[in-house]
Structure 1
Amino acid sequence: MTRIDVEFPSGDDRCAAWLYRPEAAADASVPIVVLAHGLGGVKEMRLDAYAERFTADGYACLVFDYRHFGASEGEPRQLLDIERQLADWAAAVRYARRLDGVDSSRVVLWGSSFSGGHVIEVAARDGRIAAVVSQCPFTDGLASALATPFVSTLKIAPSVVRDVVAAARKAPPVLVPLAAPRGGKALMAADDADSGYRALRPEGLDFVDAVAARFALQITRYFPGRSARKLSCPALFCVCGTDTVAPARATLRHVDKAPRGEVLLYPYGHFDIYLGDAFETVIADQLAFLRRVVPV
């Protein structure tokens, strides 16, 4: 396989991405899997592991960073805005469809955690996506908010107010940490959140473990799981049974309504799925799904 650095426009900025191409005949048009990370994550945080497996199986892959994060453009930095991220997904799909050697009718969306919800919403809006793979997906903002310890919400609140004021004054954002142990000051505050999130970061990665605090006001209003019923394509939902960030009960309620959905429930936590035996189990299931519904 080959991997090259590419970029594509989204709004007034450009998104940085990796383009993986499999070893294939020069005249072959292959399916492409588009991948992006979850809450505040960047492509270096284990997305290469997934893309390498898909590419080895004959799929092209486009792995991108959202605007305001990682190697992508966008000011202010660390601004997490749901509609802007959905626009980045739409821009990535447009770019993927125009690539030489790619079958534009066979674009697959792969998302995890927060992007696991995004891919449901994007595919429902697009209407021409070939398949969706969504693992440990964020589907229900209220369920995730209720899963956050109340003490953590109280600790975040002053930063949210200060950041809203900063935004009004066009000042630099006030940041809030992404992950902390249970009861800590972070958007994800659970027993496995801090250690789990840190385990995804390769040594030497220059990474800011925080986002603009104003994002906390968007969480409870985002229900991408409700769009599962609108999906016209095959969809695989890999749900973690002991998920502390995206509760499985709410997720199952939403994804069970996908007309062509398949649900796999695993005895893993939200962060287990990226590493070790859990990763090997889940990636094998995802590859089996893709071979069946979007064969090379």
Structure 2
Amino acid sequence: MTDTAPPARRELRFPSGTGTCHAWLYLPDTDAPADPPPVLVMAHGLGAVKALRLAAFAEYFQAAGYACLVFDYRHFGDSDGQPRELLSVRRQREDWLAAVACARALPEVNGDRVVLWGTSFGGGHAITTAAADPGVVAAIAQCPFTDGLVSARQISPRALARLVAAAAKDQLGRLFGRAPTRVKVAARTGQVGLMDAADVVDGVTGLLEASGFTEAEYRNDVPARVAMEIPFYAPGRRIPEVRCPILFCVCDDDTVAPAAATLRHAARARRGQVVRYPAGHFDIYVGPQFEKVIADQLAFLRTHVPATPPEPRNPEPVALDR
């Protein structure tokens, strides 16, 4: 027997559609727990990969006694799929369902205690997955994308027209087998992109720096065809169907997933909890807002899905009349 500590995480792949997704599995550092831990299924947002700060969240949950399955969507990061960076709502939703199935089959975790955790676009997917799967025991939607039309309106009319034109060109090119027409995920003024608010590029740059990435190492563009899907995707409409407890972490100054739309949809949750932060969309990944949101998410988990289930109480002996 050695004194070496177990690895912080291990890598695995699971099937989704006709491909596979790459994932990190975090397991609590405990000695043969009596009960397998709950598992959080975690994924990122629009055009992002798990290497962008999701490890920071998972490590906190791991230290608190939770397992985490953190995955990349097909076409992104370490997952397979061509063309690269293809952003498809349908495929990403399939990947979430496949990740939940994978988590339930893992022998090291309690497959009956699956929690969904998604951020930004992934927060929207966490909502729709929780609505579709009544076996999920809790969900956390961080600065979630809830309403495609509202998010599309954050782009200026001129930039939106250029984005739609690029999407149409990409769709047409796909029919003829051409290489994708690509657009920026985070765009500067004058560029064609999915997000072009004033704080977006600096926010993404800060996220890259905090994750040890350079801008050259991160592919900040995707095939433009997704611009035809985003306005019609409204995960917030599925919130009344979510049966489990769900936490909404809402950034009041969010320029990507506006808070007003999220709060309107969240108010219809059966078992919802809302925590608001005086922050922008990207502030929640680093610094004081990160520390605050982690504390709030852990409090939510300890209330609804404690890492160690409470011991069953022995009934008090009943005095029998003689």
**TM bracket (short chain):** over 0.9
Q: 1:8 aligned to 2:17?
A: no
TM-score by length of 1: 0.97
1:40 is matched with: 47
Q: CA deviation at 1:158?
A: 3.0
- Which AA in structure 2 matches 1:138? F
1:23 aligns with 2:29: yes
Output the CA distance in 1 between the equivalents of 2:245 and 2:120. 19
State which of 197, 204, 225 in structure 2 corresponds to 1:214. 225
Q: Distance in 2 between matches of 1:204 and 1:139?
A: 28
Q: Identity over the aligned pairs, expressed in percent?
A: 51
Q: Name the residue aligned to 1:203.
A: 212
Query: Partner amino acid for 2:18?
Result: D
Provide, for residues 58-105 of structure 1, a one-character-per-residue CA deviation record: whole Å limited to 9, x for no partner: 000010000011110111111111010000000000000011121111
Structure 1 counterpart of 2:205, which letter?
R
The number of residue pairs the alignment matches comes to 296
The question of whether the paired residues in 2 share the 8 Å contact of 1:22 and 1:55 is answered with yes
Greater fraction of residues in strand: 1
Deviation at 1:154, TM superposition (A): 2.6
1:28 Cα offset (Å): 3.1
Once the two structures are TM-superposed, the CA of residue 184 in structure 1 deviates from its matched residue by 3.8
1 CA distance for matches of 2:266 and 2:284?
19
Instruction: Kindly provide the amino acid, as one letter, of the partner of residue 297 in structure 2.
Output: Q
Are 1:237 and 2:243 counterparts? no
Q: Mind listing any 5+ residue stretches in structure 2 that lack a counterpart?
A: 1-6, 308-322
Q: How much has 1:183 moved relative to structure 2? A: 5.7
How far off is 1:265 after superposition?
Answer: 1.3
1:87-135 superposed Cα distances (whole Å, 9 cap, x missing partner): 0000000000011121111100000110110000001101110100001
Which residues of structure 1 form unaligned runs of 5+? none
How far did 1:204 drift?
A: 4.2
SS in 2 for 1:246: coil
SS in 2 for 1:132: strand
Aligned position for 1:143 = 150
Amino acid paired to 1:188 = M
Q: Quick check: 1:68–1:75 contact (8 Å CA) kept in 2?
A: yes
**Could you state the TM-score of these two structures normalised by the residue count of structure 2?**
0.89
Q: How does 1:1-296 map to 2 (within 5 A)?
A: 2-26=8-32, 27-181=34-188, 184-201=191-208, 202-204=211-213, 206-296=217-307
Distance in 2, Cα, partners of 1:152 & 1:136: 24
CA distance change for structure 1 residues 180 and 131 in 2, over 3 Å: closer, same or farther? Answer: same
Alpha-carbon offset, residue 182 of structure 1: 5.1
